[in-house]
């Protein structure tokens, strides 16, 4: 028997998944509001900063709800939900939201990256080193939004301009210092060992929700979405083709090394050739119907 719609949770990346351009925010908000009105819960999970995610909620017209920022290094919470019972104090507050960090290595990561760049003669730029014109060209963000993208609390995006071989060497050195590197598309993100799925589990713990009692539909497009896509009950891989190198990484077998909280994807990922609010909505609705969960047209 199919589960009720309320037992499903959609966890979605933003860029190249729910959004194609920053201007899609308003339409994305309308789509999410309509699905939520039917009882389908959603959580947004992005590499974007806390400030960017707060602004997105405003632009999209969404009611305050939990979100995941900087690839799982932090969780944005409505301040009303951070009551004394949780015993959690946000590190930063903005427009009714509080930022809770699950891992922090901003200053340390910057120091390590600059040291290795000078020592090994590597060719890369920190996002904060880019001028406004280049940042706009690479991200499509205007000047104000670009400043929000630079307000990092935990992770450091870098624009890699060097060889793949040198990147592998750098990743080994960063790993020895407790730092990870994941791709989010244009930028590589250097951060402590956090991920979107672990952040999701933390949100569920705060909400006294049991992972085993719900089904998760994960939507993403990049390496930084793998933890969600691997552990979801159903995975939608956006902006992709059947030749995507991410597919075999999503379809991993269940073995003794599977984390306790993991629920490895039971079905092959569904490939979505495109992105944006309308494609995202059709894809989510189709996925729900494939599970015999029906949404109002």
- Among all chains, which residue has been given the structure tokens 């819960």? 41
| Of 145, 166, 191, the domain-final residue | 191
pLDDT of residue 286: 93
Query: For the segment 248-269, what is each residue's pLDDT rounded down to a tens digit?
Result: 888 754 443 344 444 544 567 8
pLDDT of residue 253: 47
Comparing 246 with 190, which gets the higher pLDDT? 190
The CA distance from 105 to 168, in Å, is 21
Is residue 240 situated within a structural domain? yes
pLDDT at 88 over 60: yes
pLDDT of residue 192: 94
pLDDT at 246 over 90: no
Q: Is 264 exposed, middle or buried (0-12, 13-18, 19+ CB in 10 A)?
A: middle
CATH number, domain of 285, equals: 3.40.50.1000
pLDDT of residue 142: 87
Specify the length of the chain in residues: 297
| Of 166, 191, 216, the domain-final residue | 191
pLDDT of residue 256: 37
Which domain covers residue 139, as residue numbers?
Answer: 106-191
Q: Count of H helices and E strands in the chain?
A: 10, 13
Helices (H), the chain: 25-37, 50-60, 106-120, 132-139, 143-149, 164-176, 196-206, 226-231, 247-250, 277-290
Say whether both 11 and 63 belong to one domain.
yes
CB 11, CB 228: distance < 8 Å:
yes
pLDDT at 78 over 70: yes
pLDDT of residue 263: 52
Query: For the segment 158-191, what is each residue's pLDDT rounded down to a tens digit?
Result: 999 999 999 999 999 999 999 999 998 889 999 9
| Of 191, 206, 228, the domain-final residue | 191
pLDDT of residue 4: 62
CB 228, CB 196: distance < 8 Å:
yes
Average pLDDT, the chain: 89
The CA distance from 228 to 217, in Å, is 9
Say whether both 57 and 89 belong to one domain.
yes
Question: 215 pairs with which residues across the strands?
Answer: 8
pLDDT of residue 268: 76
pLDDT of residue 26: 97
CB 184, CB 222: distance < 8 Å:
yes
Q: How many domains does the chain have?
A: 2
The CA distance from 149 to 165, in Å, is 28
CA-CA-CA-CA dihedral for 25, 26, 31, 33, to nearest 10: 110
Say whether both 201 and 81 belong to one domain.
yes
pLDDT at 1 over 70: no
pLDDT of residue 230: 92
Say whether both 244 and 214 belong to one domain.
yes
pLDDT of residue 81: 85
pLDDT at 108 over 80: yes
Is residue 296 situated within a structural domain? no
Say whether both 85 and 145 belong to one domain.
no
pLDDT of residue 21: 92
Q: What is the mean pLDDT of residues 197-205?
A: 95
pLDDT at 12 over 90: yes
């Amino acid at each position: 028997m199919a589960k009720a719609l309320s037992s499903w949770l959609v966890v979605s990346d933003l860029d190249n998944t729910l959004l194609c351009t920053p201007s899609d925010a308003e339409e994305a908000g309308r789509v999410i509001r309509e699905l939520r009105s039917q009882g389908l819960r959603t959580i947004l999970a992005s590499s974007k900063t806390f400030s960017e995610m707060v602004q997105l909620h405003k632009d999209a017209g969404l009611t305050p709800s939990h979100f995941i920022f900087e690839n799982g290094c932090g969780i944005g919470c409505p301040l009303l939900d951070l009551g004394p019972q949780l015993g959690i104090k946000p590190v930063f507050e903005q427009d009714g939201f509080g930022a809770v960090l699950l891992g922090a290595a901003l200053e340390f990561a910057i120091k390590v990256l600059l040291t290795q760049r000078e020592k090994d003669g590597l060719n890369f730029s920190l996002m904060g080193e880019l001028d406004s014109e280049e940042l706009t060209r690479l991200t499509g963000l205007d000047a104000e939004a670009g400043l929000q993208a630079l307000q990092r609390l935990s992770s450091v995006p870098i624009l890699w301009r060097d060889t793949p071989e040198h990147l592998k060497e750098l990743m080994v050195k960063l790993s020895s210092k407790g730092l990870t590197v994941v791709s989010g598309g244009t930028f590589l993100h250097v951060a402590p060992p956090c991920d979107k799925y672990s952040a999701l589990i933390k949100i569920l713990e705060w909400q006294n929700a049991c992972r085993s009692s719900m089904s998760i539909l994960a939507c993403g497009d990049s390496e930084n979405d793998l933890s969600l896509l691997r552990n979801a009950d159903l995975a939608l891989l956006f902006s992709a083709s059947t030749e995507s190198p991410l597919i075999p990484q999503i379809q991993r077998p269940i073995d003794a090394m599977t984390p306790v909280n993991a629920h490895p994807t039971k079905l092959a990922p569904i490939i979505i050739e495109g992105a944006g609010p309308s494609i995202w909505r059709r894809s989510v609705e189709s996925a729900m119907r494939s599970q015999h969960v029906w949404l109002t047209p």
